[in-house]
Structure 1
């Protein structure tokens, strides 16, 4: 595919006191950038939140999962579809997967690492033996191995990828033929300003205390911070079309991803902090040259006392204009949806749109672009 196209998604989002993504000490992750400590949410955390968000709107067959339990998942589907006993289904599942050469994990039935695949792919593997499952169940281990070794199991995992695998890719070190190049890159979200980790010392009172009893039934500490975050992701439409086998499917998936990425939220300690918010700004930029992360807008930390989010949005807009002029960028489509009133934003990204208008316009722009290719 000769045409190359990228959709950059830039987000400004304010989060109240929260612990979205913990480090090994249980505190919110952070990073030093521009000489100061910033709040940080790892790309892995937001990728998982995004994937779960768009999977929730898809039928199960189109959903994906990342697990060590592929053998168990496959065995469950063999039982449901063929009616063989669970023990026999486990033997069949093991025989189907053995030729792939996936290393076994420490726990029986598990693989040594997480494998990313779609439920439809599992169903298609079951379809290879559905009509003969009861006969296979009667075979001994060696006979079963011989009967299944030439089945096209690997081919089912190499094609028909769900959108999760098509977007985020799959890496299987033992079996390079199962690798899928990711169409999406997601940056670690960082605060546009300096932050400090604070500690919430909490107590829980025993509701059944006797009248003469006092004190807490439980004590604890949770680290937290509050931040206005810059979030960035980019999708290679050309790679996504290759992974899905269709430009039309790729365009629809870009829109789904943009919606899910903008509206999803990691759920670490969410019951303690109720930290779910909406973005203050979402900008999309369609480019035919290369992705461009605009985090340099915040290398000098924002120090505004009258609205960090608004100041961050202006910084982002100015950086986009400066970068575009400096390097002669000519994006094919730019749009923004935001909650501010500022002419700088309009000059950079165009008129403010509702989020649904932004998504619809993105879909239309991509469709028009690929029709003319």
Structure 2
């Protein structure tokens, strides 16, 4: 029997003033050709990182995930903590030796460049390291005193891989994990994020700036001269969350609902921080549209294959284009979402007709929570008419 699926799609229109939120290796704002026109672009990785950072703000530090090559250092530090603080009370040499033995089943080898780091980044929950320490069951000192051969035998009896394969924090459940050398550690991501693209053509501009030496009173020249590239844009942002996959990753229905709602909140409010001090480009969206589907996700970027050419602004025309595309996809493919929820600040009958009336963002999140709770309870959502 096919398991029911639920996709929560997040469509966002957001205007950025002069900014360089995501740059390439030469310092130029990232761009892409789409529909024959050059568009501003913010990479999916940059916005996923921003969303994950925003998401973590509402999580206790001990319950957060981390992506690092320093797993060995973090585990060794826990082993040196006093037993009363959840550690094993080992000295540094004992902790390093036991750590190496514990992580060997993960295939974690030292980097050739930095001996204190592993060869690849690993995304895991901080609580999962605490659970590895608990696997020792007070035997850390005894294990550390064993010979290398005996230590390897004893550690092989501990479910280290299984400990890192279960009990994932919300961040890992959302964004997934891939370890090519050890598939048992892989976690299928519940979230996919598209590259953000401007709905219109852009051109790169240059900010010529100077800095004054405050202590130089002998002449009026600049202490430093430089340029920074920037663009201004109205971006279409898209992400899709598979609630069914998130439920499989987390197991708990309550955690699934709360994590899904928190992700939508974090994704809407997040912003990559490239050149943030120079441009202060932190804005909020003009429009947040949620489409709930039970068949397959549909990225509506095709609304902007022909670039918007605004005369009195781009946001309103971009929103109207999005409404048209949603209706076109539904009519052509029969791909009508079961529900839509929207927050927008543009007064237009077409938007109300297609998206439904605009509701405040907190109310949108509350409504999403109720719909997900309904789906988790009985595997369906009552279809709304468009």
SS at match of 1:131: coil
* Counterpart among 184, 193, 200 of residue 186 in structure 1: 193
Aligned twin of 2:115: 108
Displacement of 1:13 in angstroms is 0.3
Partners of 1:283 and 1:138 lie apart in 2 by 60
Aligned positions of 1:141-160 closer than 5 A: 141-160=148-167
Distance in 1 (alpha carbons) for counterparts of 2:255 and 2:336:
26
Farther-moved stretch of structure 1 (306-315 vs 214-223): 214-223
The answer for the alignment partner of 2:181 in structure 1 is 174
Counterparts of 1:159 and 1:108, CA distance in 2 = 28
CA contact (8 A) 2:39 2:197 kept: yes
Q: 2:103 aligns to what?
A: 97
Q: Provide the rounded CA distance (Å) in 2 between the counterparts of 1:173 and 1:7.
A: 29
Residue 365 of structure 1 corresponds to 371
Per-residue displacement from partner, 1:185-224 (whole Å, max 9, x unpaired)? Answer: 1000000000111111221111110x32332222222111
Q: Measure the CA separation in 1 of the matches of 2:316 and 2:46.
A: 26
Which is further off, 194-203 or 223-232?
194-203
Q: Report the counterpart of residue 266 of structure 1 in structure 2.
A: 272
* Paired position in structure 1 for 2:93: 87
Q: 3-state DSSP class of the match of 2:119?
A: coil
* 3-state SS, counterpart of residue 31 of structure 1: strand
* Contact 1:68 1:115 (C-alpha < 8 Å) held by counterparts: yes
Query: Residues of 1 paired with 2:226 and 2:101: CA distance?
Result: 48
Assess if the C-alpha contact under 8 Å between 1:82 and 1:130 holds in 2: no
In structure 2, what is the Cα distance between the partners aligned to 1:213 and 1:87?
A: 59
Partner of 1:219: 225
Root-mean-square deviation over aligned CA pairs: 1.4
1:18-42 deviation line (CA, Å, top 9, x unaligned): 1111101111100000111000000
* 1:354 is aligned to 2:360: yes
Q: How does 1:189-204 map to 2 (within 5 A)?
A: 189-204=196-211
Distance 1:167 1:327 in 2: 29
| Greater alpha carbon shift after TM alignment, 173-182 vs 6-15 | 173-182
TM-score using structure 2 length? 0.93
Q: Is the 8 A contact 2:329 2:336 kept in 1?
A: no
Could you tell me which runs of 5 or more consecutive residues in structure 1 were left unpaired when the two chains were aligned: none
Which residue does 2:44 correspond to in 1? 43
- Kindly state the Cα deviation for residue 140 of structure 1 after the two structures are TM-superposed: 4.4
Unpaired runs of at least 5, structure 2: 82-86, 380-386
> 1:14 corresponds to which residue?
15
Choose from 125, 129, 132 the match for 2:132.
125
* Residue 241 (structure 1) aligned to one of 247, 250, 269: 247
Q: 3-state SS of the aligned residue for 2:164?
A: helix
Deviations 1:69-107 (A, max 9, x none): 111111112222223223322222111001221233121
Contact 1:102 1:174 in 2 (8 A): no
The equivalent of 2:4 in structure 1 is 3
SS in 1 for 2:231: strand
CA contact (8 A) 1:102 1:175 kept: no
Give the length in aligned residue pairs.
372
Distance 2:250 2:93 in 1: 35
| In 2, Cα distance between equivalents of 1:261 and 1:276 | 13
Aligned partner of 1:341 among 347, 352, 355: 347
Q: Which SS does the other structure have where 1:174 is aligned?
A: coil
Is 1:254 the counterpart of 2:255 in the alignment? no
Maintained 8 Å contact 2:72/2:117: yes
Matched residue SS, 1:369: helix
